[in-house]
């Protein structure tokens, strides 16, 4: 399929839903602060990420300065990615390409989150847990720094029974996307998804998501890396993975090649020579941040690098950059673009999202993203 084919035209040719995401659905609250008082009171770190108990995070929310600028939007790694994909498909007026599954509380925040996600056209299948609060993440910003605090609540529960109840449309799905945070509590579900995908020839894509989850879940992460057709991670996450696997490297840019080679040796992944690179099992995508190129490696060590796009407007929030790049890459893969073209689309989408607060969207899709 030609990379020049217009994105909208290619999307319309797909069976729907084409991609299902599994992760921790959160309601993101963005707050602009004028002082360090909140950080000092709750002993939070500049540019830090921390989990707080439900009562503590509610107390923090209640004490946010009334004069501070506040915005809410859906959040969570996989949910963000599926939202970006669905937005690129035309939102509610376009084909319902994206499906999302995760745990939600039976509360006002859960209702708000559910309505916001479904409003963009996503087939959102939430497992409702009445005894747990909806997961929330508070992003406190005082430029140039930010500090994130979260409580997963109901987002930390998604069972095999929930999966069975959600009755995945396996005959139309081409990709199942799983975020790393999901396997910290639902690894059994992730393994079942891998099994279902293999039975149906569906590609499994896995995002490592966070360097710190190696501390308690390195075996599960390594298992998912071995079982997934596509693996996403930033340079810090890929470095942590390489060290766990005892891979020797001199430069972080070597790691995607080492992982690709390791997968081909250990699981026999190689180019199938059927013209479909997505059928390979050793696709590794690494971002590096800043001005460094993103890298994709596939097949028998084939590779491409793409420099980040320079945003047309000032950068306001980089939190969703990685999720947005993944969205562009996976959408490109769904419509049959080359690995390099997928990465280019991902970089374009990310450069637009970082000019907004949270993973939020302008009224119309910029024309250059639809080409």
Give the alpha-carbon dihedral of 121, 157, 324, 70, to 10 degrees: 80
Question: What is the C-alpha separation between 308 and 232, in angstroms, rounded?
Answer: 16
From 28, 280, 317, 323, active-site residue: 323
Question: What is the C-alpha separation between 123 and 131, in angstroms, rounded?
Answer: 24
3-class SS at 124?
strand
Q: Would you call 323 a catalytic residue per the annotation?
A: yes
Give whole-number Cα distances, 329 to 133, 258, 283, 293, 306, in Å: 33, 21, 12, 14, 12
Query: Of 281, 323, 339, nearest to 87 (Cα)?
Result: 323
Question: Exposed (0-12), middle (13-18) or buried (19+): which is 172, by Cβ within 10 Å?
Answer: middle
Q: How many CA atoms lie within 13 A of 191 on its CB side?
A: 10
Give whole-number Cα distances, 36 to 107, 142, 341, in Å: 31, 8, 43
Residues forming a β-bridge with 136 = 27, 151
Residues forming a β-bridge with 147 = 140
Length of the chain: 371
Q: How many CA atoms lie within 13 A of 352 on its CB side?
A: 23
The sign of the CA dihedral 220, 261, 286, 175 is negative
Residues forming a β-bridge with 220 = none
Residues forming a β-bridge with 102 = 126
Q: Which residues of 284-315 are buried (b: 16+ CB within 10 A; e: fewer)?
A: bbbbbeeeeebbbbbbeeebbebebbeeeeee
Give me the active site residues, please: 323
């Amino acid at each position: 399929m030609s990379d020049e084919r217009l994105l909208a035209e290619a999307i319309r040719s797909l069976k729907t839903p084409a991609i299902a995401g599994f992760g921790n659905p959160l309601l993101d609250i963005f707050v602009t602060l004028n002082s360090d008082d909140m950080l000092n009171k709750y002993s939070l770190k500049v540019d830090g990420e921390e989990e707080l108990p439900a009562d503590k995070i509610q107390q923090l929310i209640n004490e946010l300065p009334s004069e501070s600028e506040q915005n809410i939007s859906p959040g969570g790694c996989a949910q963000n990615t599926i939202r970006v994909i669905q937005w690129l498909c035309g939102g509610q007026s376009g084909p319902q390409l994206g499906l999302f599954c995760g745990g939600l509380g039976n509360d006002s925040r859960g209702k708000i989150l559910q309505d916001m996600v479904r409003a963009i056209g996503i087939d959102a299948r939430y497992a409702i847990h009445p005894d747990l609060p909806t997961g929330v993440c508070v992003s406190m910003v005082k430029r140039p720094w930010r500090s994130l605090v979260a409580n997963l609540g109901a987002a930390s529960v998604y069972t095999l029974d929930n999966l069975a109840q959600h009755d995945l449309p396996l005959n139309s799905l081409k990709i199942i996307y799983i975020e790393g945070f999901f396997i910290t509590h639902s690894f059994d579900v992730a393994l079942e998804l891998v099994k279902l995908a293999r039975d149906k020839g569906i590609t499994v894509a896995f995002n490592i998501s966070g360097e710190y989850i190696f501390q308690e879940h390195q075996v599960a992460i390594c298992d998912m890396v071995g079982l997934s057709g596509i693996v996403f991670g930033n340079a810090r996450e890929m470095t942590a993975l390489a060290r766990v696997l005892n891979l020797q490297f001199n430069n972080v840019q070597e790691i995607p090649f080492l992982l690709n080679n390791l997968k081909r040796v250990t699981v026999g992944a190689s180019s199938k020579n059927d013209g479909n690179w997505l059928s390979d099992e050793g696709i590794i995508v690494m971002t590096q941040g800043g001005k460094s190129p993103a890298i994709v490696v596939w097949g028998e060590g084939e590779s491409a690098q793409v420099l980040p796009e320079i945003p047309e407007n000032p950068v306001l929030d980089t939190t969703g950059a990685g999720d947005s790049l993944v969205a562009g890459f996976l959408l490109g893969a769904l419509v049959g673009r080359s690995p390099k073209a997928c990465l280019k689309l991902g970089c374009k989408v990310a450069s637009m999202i970082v000019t907004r607060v949270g993973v939020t969207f302008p009224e119309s899709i910029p024309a250059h993203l639809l080409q």
